[in-house]
């Protein structure tokens, strides 16, 4: 288990790296179609040699602090893929068993015909992850896919919340808690 001091240090360092590497200022169109004055490119974090491990530690501490117990972690491909893997590795480092999974945008029409790939989520407690969320659409698609595969979604967690209504929408539509490691205010964004 990560000690509180270790978790605090990991969180502080991850925040530094997000500010340094992931916040891009300028007009952008988000996946939701909305326009913003900045972009938070968390793939620069989740695929970074140092930050990836910190992501796993911070997200594991976040869910532990919230009392969320889960056996599987993942979400909609592609934003959630490295987040789920980071959580899985951090859990293993802490002596825990957490499997990662990937939710396809649509069910395959060939092979096994699965929408949720990886170890089965059926009958298991599942944490749905995302790097960041604007409208909540990706997380909601992942929740739907996990439920169809027989998983029991216990929470949705993101690295950065943009404070654009995703939390309220996800909690209202899923009935599970929405957690986030960092708010946009911590990144110096308004």
Residue 25 annotated in ligand binding: no
CB 59 within 8 A of CB 130: no
Residue 93 annotated in ligand binding: no
How confident is the model over 86-136, as pLDDT tens digits? 999 999 999 999 999 999 987 666 666 689 999 999 999 999 999 999 889
Residue 174 annotated in ligand binding: no
Residue 43 annotated in ligand binding: no
Nearest to 160 by CA among 30, 50, 26: 30
**DSSP helix/strand/coil, 78:** coil
Residue 114 annotated in ligand binding: no
Class of domain 7-187: alpha beta
Residue 134 annotated in ligand binding: yes
Residue 136 annotated in ligand binding: yes
Residue 85 annotated in ligand binding: no
CA separation for the pair 163, 134 (Å, rounded): 7
**DSSP helix/strand/coil, 29:** strand
CA separation for the pair 184, 186 (Å, rounded): 5
| pTM of this structure | 0.92
How confident is the model over 36-91, as pLDDT tens digits? 888 899 999 999 999 999 999 999 999 999 999 999 999 999 999 999 999 999 99
């Amino acid at each position: 288990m990560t000690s509180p001091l270790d978790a605090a240090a990991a969180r502080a360092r991850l925040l530094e790296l997000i500010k340094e590497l992931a916040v891009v200022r300028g007009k952008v169109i988000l996946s939701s179609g909305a326009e913003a004055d900045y972009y938070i490119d968390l793939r620069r974090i989740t695929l970074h040699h140092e930050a990836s491990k910190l992501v796993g530690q911070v997200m594991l501490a976040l869910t532990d602090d919230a009392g969320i117990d889960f056996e599987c972690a993942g979400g909609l491909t592609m934003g959630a893929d490295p987040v789920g893997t980071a959580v899985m590795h951090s859990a293993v480092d802490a002596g825990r068993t957490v499997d990662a999974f990937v939710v396809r945008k649509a069910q395959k029409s060939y092979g096994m015909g699965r929408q949720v790939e990886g170890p089965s989520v059926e009958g298991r407690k599942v944490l749905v992850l995302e790097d960041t969320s604007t409208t909540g659409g990706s997380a909601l698609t992942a929740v739907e896919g996990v439920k169809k595969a027989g998983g029991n979604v216990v929470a949705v967690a993101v690295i950065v919340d943009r404070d654009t209504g995703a939390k309220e929408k996800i909690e209202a539509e899923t009935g599970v808690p929405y957690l986030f490691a960092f708010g946009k205010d911590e990144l110096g964004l308004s």
